[in-house]
């Protein structure tokens, strides 16, 4: 699928993997809406890539609709990258045997609301807009890429909420791809492993921490780069025969229990 001149929406696009994806899409001629809560970073990136920034909380349907309408004004809406997400770690049961020390249920619900329900809400709203665009060759109207995680398969101790949310994204990839085949929209999911992002910080302590993480990577023995993730995201969008797949990009790592 040729994305030159089309509109693309990238949630969580102001930083990390989302920003890398936004840059890669823009480099191929797409008009990118950076949909994120981080106004300063989002606006700066949008200016850098010739796109637009829209303040979006993916738990708010009206925000998603606003991003879609902005994208419509820039060109036919044919691309969605769902990169917005949060993490949370807590053991299911506390150490003192009291009910109050059990895992925080509100935190669990928040992770699911953002990572899973937010992803689905973006899909249903953006795909609705895609359904009204003119079909391209072979009836194709657009492509959607979701960001999951290897935690969907190899969840570690304390990752129940995060793994459940990302496992849900993986689990709904095929049925949604089947749903959206009726309108010519493909759906794929990318599951990153350990990616070198600003979340690890900088400095000597940060480098030592990352060096320890790298030990579990099969090959190459390093963390992945945001650009490597972005290239796979782009392939999922532009390769018109790639559909209903979840692709691990992780250097062969299988996460240990902790």
Buried/exposed code over 199-236 (b: 16+ C-beta within 10 A; e: otherwise): ebeeeeeeeeeeeeebebbeeeeebbebebbbebbbeb
**What mean pLDDT comes out for the span 80-99?**
96
Rounded CA separation 224/200 (Å): 13
What pLDDT is stored for residue 203 in this prediction? 87
For the chain, domain boundaries: 7-249
What proportion of the chain, given as a percentage, has pLDDT over 90? 92
- Beta-carbon contacts of residue 63 (< 8 Å; ≥ 6 apart): 35, 54, 55, 56, 57
Active-site hit among 53, 99, 162, 200? 162
User: Can you give the pLDDT at residue 198?
Assistant: 73
Ramachandran bin of 87, using left for φ above 0, alpha for ψ from -120 to 50, beta for the remaining angles: beta
The mean pLDDT value for 72-90 works out to 97
Quickly count: other Cβ atoms within 10 Å of residue 146's Cβ. 30
- Please give the class, per CATH, of domain 7-249: alpha beta
Residue 212: per-residue pLDDT? 86
pTM of the model: 0.96
Give yes or no for residue 202 having a pLDDT over 90. Answer: no
Predicted confidence at residue 190, as pLDDT, reads 98
pLDDT score of 204: 85
Given a cut of 90, whether residue 13 has pLDDT beyond it is: yes
Task: Convert the pLDDT of each residue in 205-236 to its tens digit.
Answer: 888 888 888 989 999 999 999 999 999 999 99
- For residue range 117-173, list pLDDT tens digits in order: 999 999 999 999 999 999 999 999 999 999 999 999 999 999 999 999 999 999 999
For residue 76, CA distances in Å to 16, 27, 32, 250 come to 26, 17, 11, 33
- Classify each residue of 154-185 as buried b or exposed e, where b means 16 or more C-beta atoms within 10 Å of its C-beta: bbeebbbbbbbbbbbbbebbeebbeebeebbb
Indicate if 53 belongs to the active site. Answer: no
């Amino acid at each position: 699928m040729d994305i030159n001149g089309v509109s693309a929406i990238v949630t969580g696009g102001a930083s990390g993997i989302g920003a890398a994806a936004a840059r890669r899409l823009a480099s191929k001629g797409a008009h990118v809406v950076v949909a994120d809560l981080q106004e300063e970073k989002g606006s700066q990136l949008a200016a850098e890539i010739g796109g637009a920034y829209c303040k979006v909380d993916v738990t708010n349907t009206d925000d998603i609709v606003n991003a879609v309408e902005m994208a419509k004004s820039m060109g036919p809406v044919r691309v969605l990258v769902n990169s917005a997400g949060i993490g949370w770690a807590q053991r299911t049961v506390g150490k003192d045997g009291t009910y109050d020390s059990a895992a925080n249920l509100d935190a669990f619900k928040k992770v699911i609301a953002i990572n899973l329900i937010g992803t689905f809400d973006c899909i249903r709203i953006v795909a609705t807009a895609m359904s009204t665009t003119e079909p391209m060759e072979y009836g194709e109207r657009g492509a959607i890429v979701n960001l999951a995680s290897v935690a969907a398969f190899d969840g570690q101790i304390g990752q129940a909420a995060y793994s459940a949310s990302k496992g849900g994204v993986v689990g709904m990839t095929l049925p949604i791809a089947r749903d959206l085949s009726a309108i010519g929209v493909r759906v794929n999911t990318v599951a990153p492993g350990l990616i070198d992002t600003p979340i690890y910080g900088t400095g000597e302590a940060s480098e030592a921490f990352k060096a320890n993480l790298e030990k579990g990577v099969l090959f190459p023995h390093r963390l992945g780069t945001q650009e490597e993730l972005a290239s796979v995201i782009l392939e999922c969008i532009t390769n018109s025969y790639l559909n209903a797949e979840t692709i691990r990009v992780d250097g062969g790592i299988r996460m240990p229990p902790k």
